């Protein structure tokens, strides 16, 4: 969410940013919020004058009553009553105006970084760099569900009976591999100086609206019926929410945290054939990284965060590339974002396995996350990045580590988490 002072002082910058994000239907909101802000200021001014006058007249009434001038005092009381009614009207209008302004400001997109490429959608995202050598083996790579089934590692039919489509049972060595990847990612981030955390898996609505855009909320979040609680779509939500309405000592920054959680997502809409199986599901687990820092340090941390993910995938013998999100592909709160994509030998192309985002002070402004520094208080900057999300990451892992006989090799870094196993062999 933007600072309304910035919007009023720089309306053309805000409008150009809206155009750059191809959201022209929001252009009129800039002028609308300026007009509403002018009106609320006038209402506040009139209200302040009435309150000052009420205090003044109240003193006069006391004086008149002490002088025995009851008729004059009663006339003054009528004036106070009339002003009180007007003040009630103004206070109601002020509240309504404030809600309207907040509603509009919540949907005006954050100012994107100057380095973000301009484009309408994800088809115009820009490849930045590749890491590792993509390999296409001389034997066919089955679809990931077939690989998992041959290893006795997945049961969709039972999950469909229990919970419906979009769920699964992981079994045996595949389930163990899933846990091993998460444990390895946890230790990988701890070794890089991040503090491990397991957060709440449900959050209140004020946190939901503080950490994400309305469009994301509608398409992603599951609400708990009858309660002001939502299941988290990623641990970033509850991790950033941890700092709601707090003042952080500048000396403690940056705060670098890595968190584990299950994630729950509606995943609305039709999906292509390549998004079957465990690619796009309603429930999965993830290791995340979150940073709360000073504004001048956020871009430096942005670079560090995505590199952590790249480094982790490289240790697992999975080639990856980074893809910069263009303006039209950025969620409204984001300043800059890069996707990490893993190589699929079967498809002979890359697919998304994680995303790193710098949100500037957008979440901090909504949640009132402030920093107390030498020169006063200011809003923190927040960032997040996927360390690893095993269901989708497992696809890349299985394809890149598959051997011709159908077994899957285990990279050295994972072997301690797999009880020393060096390979997973088919059971079917």
Residue whose tokens read 């000592």: 249
Beta carbons of 150 and 427 less than 8 angstroms apart: yes
Final residue of a structural domain among 47, 79, 105: 105
Quick one: how many helices (H) and strands (E) in the chain? 13, 18
Tens digit of pLDDT per residue, the chain (428 long)?
A: 899 999 999 999 999 999 999 999 999 999 999 999 999 999 999 988 888 887 777 777 776 676 777 777 677 777 777 778 888 889 999 999 999 999 999 999 999 999 999 999 999 999 999 999 999 999 999 999 999 999 999 999 999 999 998 899 999 999 999 999 999 999 999 999 999 999 999 999 999 999 987 777 777 899 999 999 999 999 999 999 999 999 999 999 999 999 999 999 987 654 555 557 888 889 999 999 999 999 999 999 999 999 999 999 999 999 999 999 999 999 999 999 999 999 999 999 999 999 999 999 999 999 999 999 999 999 999 999 999 998 889 999 999 999 999 999 999 999 999 999 999 999 87
Domain membership of residue 110 (yes or no) is: no
Residues 164, 28 share a domain: no
Neighbouring residues of 378: CB distance < 8 A, sequence distance ≥ 6: 295, 370, 371
Owning domain of residue 388: 122-424
Residue 357 contacts residue 327 (beta carbons within 8 Å) = no
Whether residue 82 is found in the same domain as residue 182: no
Q: Are residues 376 and 259 in the same domain?
A: yes
- Contact yes or no for 47/90 (Cβ under 8 A): yes
* Partner residues linked to 343 by β-bridges: 350
**Residues 66, 129: one domain?**
no
Q: Which residues pair with 376 in a beta bridge?
A: 373
36/185 same-domain check:
no
Note whether 136 and 17 are same-domain residues: no
Indicate the residue among 42, 76, 105 that finishes a domain.
105
For tokens 């923190």, what's the residue?
380
String of DSSP letters for 380-420: -EEEEEEEE-HHHHHHHHHHHSB-TTS-EE--TTTGGGGTT
Q: Looking at residue 62, which CATH number applies to its domain? A: 1.10.287.40
CB neighbour list of residue 49: distance below 8 Å, 6 or more residues apart = none
Q: Judge if 101 and 175 occupy the same domain.
A: no
Q: Is the same domain home to 291 and 213?
A: yes
Distance, CA of 388 to CA of 397 (rounded, Å) = 11
Quote the CA–CA distance of 27 and 23 in Å, as a whole number. 8
Taking every pair of C-alpha atoms in the chain, what is the biggest distance, in angstroms?
108
- d(CA 175, CA 44) in angstroms, rounded, equals 61
CA-angle at 254, arms to 253 and 257, nearest 5° = 125
Pairing of strands 195-197, 255-264: parallel
> What is the total count of domains within the chain?
2
Same domain as 244, residue 133: yes
CB-neighbour burial class of residue 31 (10 A; exposed 0-12, middle 13-18, buried 19+)? exposed
Beta strand 423-424 with 376-379 is unpaired
* Cα–Cα distance, 263 to 392 (Å, whole number): 13
Q: Which residues pair with 256 in a beta bridge?
A: 291
Quick one: which of 223, 211, 19 has its CA closest to 106?
A: 211
Domain membership of residue 347 (yes or no) is yes
User: pTM score, two decimals?
Assistant: 0.89
CATH number, position 213: 3.30.930.10
Do 262 and 284 touch, CB atoms closer than 8 A?
Answer: yes
């Amino acid at each position: 969410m933007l600072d309304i002072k910035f919007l009023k002082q720089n309306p053309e910058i805000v409008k150009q940013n809206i155009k750059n994000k191809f959201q022209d239907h929001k252009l009129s909101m800039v002028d609308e919020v300026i007009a509403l802000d002018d009106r609320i200021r006038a209402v506040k001014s009139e209200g302040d004058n009435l309150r000052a006058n009420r205090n003044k007249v109240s003193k006069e009434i006391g004086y008149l009553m002490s002088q025995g001038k009851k008729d004059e005092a009663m006339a003054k009381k009528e004036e106070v009553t009339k002003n009180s009614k007007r003040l009630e009207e103004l206070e109601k209008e002020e509240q309504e105006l404030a809600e309207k302004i907040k509603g509009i400001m919540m949907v005006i997109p954050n100012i994107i970084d100057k380095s973000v490429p301009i484009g309408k959608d994800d088809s115009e995202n820009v490849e930045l760099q590749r890491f590792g050598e993509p390999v296409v083996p001389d034997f066919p790579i089955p679809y990931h569900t077939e690989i998992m089934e041959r290893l006795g590692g997945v049961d969709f039919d039972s999950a469909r009976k229990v919970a419906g489509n979009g769920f699964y049972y992981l079994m045996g060595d595949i389930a163990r591999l899933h846990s091993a990847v998460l444990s390895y990612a946890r230790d990988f981030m701890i070794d890089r100086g991040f503090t491990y955390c397991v957060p709440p898996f449900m959050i209140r609505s004020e946190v939901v609206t503080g950490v994400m855009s309305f469009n994301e909320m509608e398409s992603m979040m599951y609400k708990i019926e009858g309660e002001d609680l939502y299941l988290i779509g990623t641990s970033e939500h509850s991790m950033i929410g941890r700092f709601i309405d707090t003042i952080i000592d500048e000396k403690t920054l940056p705060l670098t945290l890595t968190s584990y959680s299950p994630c729950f997502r509606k995943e609305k809409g039709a999906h292509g054939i390549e998004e079957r199986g465990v690619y796009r599901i309603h429930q999965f687990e993830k290791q995340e990284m979150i940073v709360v820092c000073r504004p001048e340090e956020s871009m430096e941390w942005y670079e560090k965060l995505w590199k952590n993910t790249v480094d982790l995938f490289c240790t697992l013998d999975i080639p990856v590339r980074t893809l910069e999100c263009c303006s039209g592909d950025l969620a409204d709160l984001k300043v800059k974002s890069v996707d990490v994509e893993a190589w699929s030998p079967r498809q002979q192309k890359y697919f998304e396995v994680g995303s790193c985002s710098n949100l500037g002070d957008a979440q901090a402004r909504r949640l009132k996350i402030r920093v107390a520094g030498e020169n006063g208080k200011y809003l923190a900057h927040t960032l997040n990045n996927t360390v690893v999300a095993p269901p989708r990451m497992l696809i890349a892992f299985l394809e890149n580590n598959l051997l011709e006989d159908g077994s899957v090799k285990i990279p050295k870094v994972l072997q301690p988490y797999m009880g020393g196993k060096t390979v997973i062999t088919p059971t079917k």
